[in-house]
Amino acid sequence: MAKKKVLLMGKAHSGKTSMRSIIFANYLARDTMRLSPTLDVEHHHVRFLGDLVLNLWDCGGQDAFYESYFERDRETIFRSVELLIYVFDIESDCPEKDFDHFAGVLEALEENSPDARIFVLVHKMDLVAEEERELILEDRKRLIEESCLGVGVQHFQCFGTSIWDETLYKAWSEIVTNLIPNIGVLESHLADFCRICDADEVVLFERATFLVISHAQAKRGENDDGSRVDRARLTAGVEESTLNNDEIVEGISPSLAGANLDSTVNEDADDALQMSTSPPESSLIDDSTKGGDASALSPSVHSPPPPSPGNVALTSSVGNTQRAKSSAQAAPSPTPQFDAHRFEKISNIVKQFKLSCGKAQSQFQGMDVRNSKFTAFIDAFTANTYIMVIVSNTQSDGQEWGKGVHKAATLLNISKARSHFEQFIPRS
Amino acid sequence: PAVDFDDPTISALPRILLMGPRRSGKTSIQRVVFHKMSPHETLFRLEATQLLERAVVDHTPLCRFTIWDFPGDQYETLVNEDTDKDTNGGGEERSGAQNNRHQPSDEIFVKATALIFVLDAQDEPYDNVLQSFTDTVTRAVRANPSIAIEVFVHKVDGELFLSDEAKYDCRRDVMQQVSDELADAGFLSHDAVPISYHLTSIYDHSVFEAFSRVVQRLIPELPTLEHLLNVLVSTCSMEKAYLFDVASKLYISTDSSPVDMQSVELCSDMIDVVLDVSGIYGTGGIGPKNAGAKAAMAPLEGDGSEVKVDGQDALANDAINELTSSNLDPSNNDDDELLGKLVGQVGPTAEEEANDQDGAASAYDSESSSTIYLSNGMVLYLKEVDTMLALVCLTRAENFKKKSLINYNIGCLKKALKALASKNQATIA
Ligand SMILES: Nc1nc2c(ncn2[C@@H]2O[C@H](COP(=O)(O)OP(=O)(O)OP(=O)(O)O)[C@@H](O)[C@H]2O)c(=O)[nH]1
Ligand SMILES: Nc1nc2c(ncn2[C@@H]2O[C@H](COP(=O)(O)OP(=O)(O)O)[C@@H](O)[C@H]2O)c(=O)[nH]1
Ligand SMILES: [Mg+2]
């Protein structure tokens, strides 16, 4: 278990404690109005991804404290720092002094922890009118850069933040992913998973904070392989199963009460899957869960025995026959361009909902959200993560039968990948 | 786009008046509930209202009305003077002002459905405010005995109202003072003027809850809606079902089992999740523009069997009859008859005119749905049932296994709602 020392500094009232409380202690933004000023240094140990422990030094920002930070406690404070987060209040009444302190901090850090990574947050951006934000932020960044270069600091990252919107999650997500070892391995596995699921996008969140730790996007145009044929056959399989269900529906209509029909009316997506694909799949599914190494998941899933409609078929988006009909509409559209800020937005959205569940004495375990264009699955994943899988609905020709199956396949893939991924979630 | 408030279809809509002293929070309430302004933004984004501001709320066919936000210090003059004071104004409403100018101001109450009086609970003492409130009420009720009077005891948040006790105390004081004042004004019995009191704050869910209750009173179909939801809940063994206007997150109806604030709040938060996530991923360029409208005609989506049901209108119609009549409470014969007729109206016409309004642009479309699994064994299930209208139900996971049955029944509900809405449309036009 590694402890990483993180310094959180900045003028008094700049918002350090607020941010920390929201990200790590489940505060609501409006609860921060009740926080009292930080005196001296508060130490907080927060767990991230299970056994990564961040040792947060929340340093009170009143001038008097700075004197001791720079003099008496200089070494204690600035020694063996992994990461510095320096917070500027955009509405500061005395920016010159902020910059003095900032320069002092950088100097002390260079001296004691030359390898520390540096993050500068220009905070309370919500107080700036939206149209001016970019300009003002750019301006502030320039000053910060000058200040850094002045003491010989080359590498740092700067973010505009506010506790009132998703920018907070963006910045902190970058900050924490910097502390996770070997994140690249995870990323590449996530990319594989994204391809296997035929998802548009897969995002991994840390469980407690809901910060994004990794994500992968589909590379469109790559999946023009034989898999579609299987999908077409699969659709046929589902058609058969709908036949069964017709009977069931007719069975319902006279009474509708239905309690005793439970066992027959079982066309929950999972069952549709079972029906349509029954014998060959079950073995396939087992294969990939057993596979211990990195590549096990992909090959077994990707090259099914030729005669059977394999798992790939389940997860690829458009069948050949369907494509033939719908190509005019579906073919020219590449992966849709999503909002550039979507990750932090999702973090924010889901975290808020998580807190709501907490208020209702419950926790949320998983969800799906869909409309005619997409389905999002957000599910508890490994012990310390949640996953989100985005699947867009490329069928525009009215053939909706595949959807239930696709859903089942995605859920199945998620649950299969769970144990597989456990080993790639970096530990310290 | 300018709204013509003289347009008969708009002036015929139910009217909600927001009145109360300056800075009591009227505009904030309106912005937070109907414009998704975040509460803390009201601190620095709102200026004192100078002129009457009117807005149309028309997200979903069953729930349409106008809101009249009065300037804090003007509402009194406006109420108290029969002279030709310029009661309205502000850009788009000029034409309306012409009309109203020479009418006695009591006219405002005659055509109003509800009067919400917003009182700042953090601004004691209330004596003066309550006095002007009783004046207003007296006038309003004389002009329009059927007007609904709602008091929002507002801003019950922050240091002063940390405990529920403090809030209840405050409400009790206000109620006591009002009834004393009303007695002085000559309304002797309390029932002479039925007044509802709500404790509200824009910083939590309470203002949505209160506004929901106000809005529910405007909906003539409410008993029918409640009845439909009762049947759905009992047919599908659900715990609770709500119909939400997703744009405002007000619930316009629920089944008749007791409402638990926590569950409403969770459902309402779920709507946020659905709209926000759909706004990010569900607007992509893939669907052709008419996909929404086309899909709107398919009341049921997705899994296997439903597709077939979808094609069999006759069957589905039977099912509505089934859904609406089989479990009928015998005392509810009126509804029964009404529904019988309504069901008869369900036909292609009702379906075809479905969401052409802002359907294509919106990420909330006819196939919107969401399922959330909670650790306490409950499932939240949301499904689109009309333009910007969602059924949100709370059910035990074990009762959620027969999802096709649930979807099927929701499909029936959806048709019944469409029929109700089109009937509603017909009466207005
Ligand atoms: N604490 C608290 N403050 C609120 C609440 N609602 C509104 N406010 C604040 O009250 C102030 C006045 O709000 P407005 O909405 O402009 O009041 P108004 O009634 O429209 O005022 P006029 O337009 O002048 O009549 C704003 O600073 C709001 O932030 C609330 O529920 N709690
Ligand atoms: N408008 C705005 N206020 C903020 C923001 N972040 C924090 N605050 C407020 O700033 C005040 C001081 O925050 P605090 O975290 O105690 O500052 P610290 O002394 O740096 O720890 C609190 O009242 C917070 O509610 C922000 O992003 N925007
Ligand atoms: Mg106002």
By the 8 A CB rule, do A148 and A157 touch? no
Instruction: Report the chain A residue with the minimal C-alpha distance to residue B380.
Output: A367
pLDDT at A323: 34
| Ligand 2 in reach of A13 Cβ (< 6 A) | yes
Quick check: bond before B330 cis, omega within 30? Answer: no
Same fold, A2-177 and A183-421: no
User: Which of A259, A342, A366 is nearest residue B280 as measured by Cβ atoms?
Assistant: A342
Reply yes or no on whether the pLDDT at A342 is more than 60: yes
CB neighbours of residue A414 within 10 Å: 22
Reply yes or no on whether the pLDDT at A227 is more than 60: no
Reply yes or no on whether the pLDDT at A195 is more than 70: yes
pLDDT at A327: 35
Element housing B372 (H / E): strand B369-374
pLDDT at A377: 95
**Residue of A13, A20, A33 best suited for mutating to test ligand 2, as the one with most atoms within 8 Å of CB:** A13
Listed range (A197-201, A252-256, B44-48) with the worst mean pLDDT: A252-256
SS3 B377: coil
pLDDT at A335: 53
By the 8 A CB rule, do B46 and B96 touch? no
| Ligand 1 in reach of B199 Cβ (< 6 A) | no
User: Which of B237, B276, B304 is nearest residue A238 as measured by Cβ atoms?
Assistant: B304
Query: For the domain A183-421, what is the CATH code?
Result: 3.30.450.190
Backbone angles phi, psi at B348, to 5 degrees: -55, -35
Ligand showing the shortest atom-to-Cα distance for residue A29: 2
DSSP calls for B247-270? TTTEEEEE-SSPP-HHHHHHHHHH
CB contact under 8 Å between A242 and B366, yes or no, is no
Q: How confident is the model at residue A167 (pLDDT cuts 50, 70, 90)?
A: very high
Using a CB–CB cutoff of 8 Å, tell me whether B283 touches chain A.
yes
pLDDT at B111: 87
CB contact under 8 Å between B305 and A249, yes or no, is yes
By the 8 A CB rule, do A8 and A16 touch? yes
CA distance A215 to A148: 31
CA distance A363 to A348: 16
Backbone angles phi, psi at A45, to 5 degrees: -105, 120
pLDDT at B107: 81
pLDDT at B203: 93
CB contact under 8 Å between B309 and A249, yes or no, is yes
Decide which of A401 and A258 is more confident.
Answer: A401
> For every residue of chain A, which 3-state class applies, written as one string?
CEEEEEEEEECCCCCHHHHHHHHHHCCCHHHHHHCCCCCCEEEEEEEECCCEEEEEEEECCCHHHHHHHHCCCHHHHHCCCCEEEEEEECCCCCHHHHHHHHHHHHHHHHHHCCCCEEEEEEECHHHCCHHHHHHHHHHHHHHHHHHHHHCCCCCCEEEECCCCCCHHHHHHHHHHHCCCCCHHHHHHHHHHHHHHCCCCEEEEEECCCCCEEEEEECCCCCCCCCHHHHHHHHHHHHHHHHHHHHHHHHHHCCCCCCHHHCCCCCCCHHHHHHHHHHHHHHHHHHHHHHCCCCCCHHHHHHCCCCCCCCHHHHHCCCCHHHHHHHHHHHCCCCCCCCCCCHHHHHHHHHHHHHHHHHHCCCCEEEEEEECCCEEEEEEECCCCEEEEEEEECCCCCCCCHHHHHHHHHHHHHHHHHHHHHHCCCCCC
pLDDT at A175: 93
By the 8 A CB rule, do B147 and B109 touch? yes
Decide which of A348 and B187 is more confident.
Answer: A348
| Ligand 1 in reach of B48 Cβ (< 6 A) | yes
By the 8 A CB rule, do B225 and B243 touch? yes
Ligand 2 center–CA A15 separation, angstroms: 4
Q: Average of pLDDT values for A314-332?
A: 35
Q: Average of pLDDT values for A377-391?
A: 93
pLDDT at A63: 75
One-letter amino acid at B319 equals: A
Q: Average of pLDDT values for A212-231?
A: 62
pLDDT at B58: 86
B272-286 burial, b if ≥16 CB within 10 A, otherwise e?
A: bbbbbbbbbbbbbeb
| Ligand 2 in reach of A237 Cβ (< 6 A) | no
Among candidates B170, B237, B231, B229, which has minimal Cα distance to B197?
Answer: B170
Q: Which residues of chain B have pLDDT under 70?
A: 1, 74-105, 188-192, 284-361, 424-429
pLDDT at B62: 85
pLDDT at B142: 86
pLDDT at B337: 32
CB contact under 8 Å between A366 and B372, yes or no, is yes
CA atoms within 13 A on the CB side of A22: 27
User: Which of A333, A356, A362 is nearest residue B286 as measured by Cβ atoms?
Assistant: A333
Reply yes or no on whether the pLDDT at A31 is more than 90: no
Domain ranges of chain A: 2-177, 183-421
Reply yes or no on whether the pLDDT at A225 is more than 60: no
Supply the pTM of this predicted model: 0.76
For chain A, give the percent of residues with pLDDT over 90: 30
Who's near A39: CB < 8 A, 6+ residues apart?
Answer: A60
Among candidates A113, A204, A211, A128, which has minimal Cα distance to A164?
Answer: A128
CA distance A199 to A420: 18
| Ligand 1 in reach of B120 Cβ (< 6 A) | no
Using a CB–CB cutoff of 8 Å, tell me whether B309 touches chain A.
yes
pLDDT at B29: 96
Decide which of B411 and A315 is more confident.
Answer: B411
Who's near B83: CB < 8 A, 6+ residues apart?
Answer: none
Q: Average of pLDDT values for A192-212?
A: 92
Q: Which residues surround ligand 3, an ion (CB under 5 A)?
A: B 27, 49
Ligand 1 center–CA B23 separation, angstroms: 5
The domain made up of A2-177 has a fold known as Rossmann fold (3.40.50)
Q: How confident is the model at residue A3 (pLDDT cuts 50, 70, 90)?
A: confident
Q: Whose CA is nearest to atom 22 of ligand 2?
A: A33
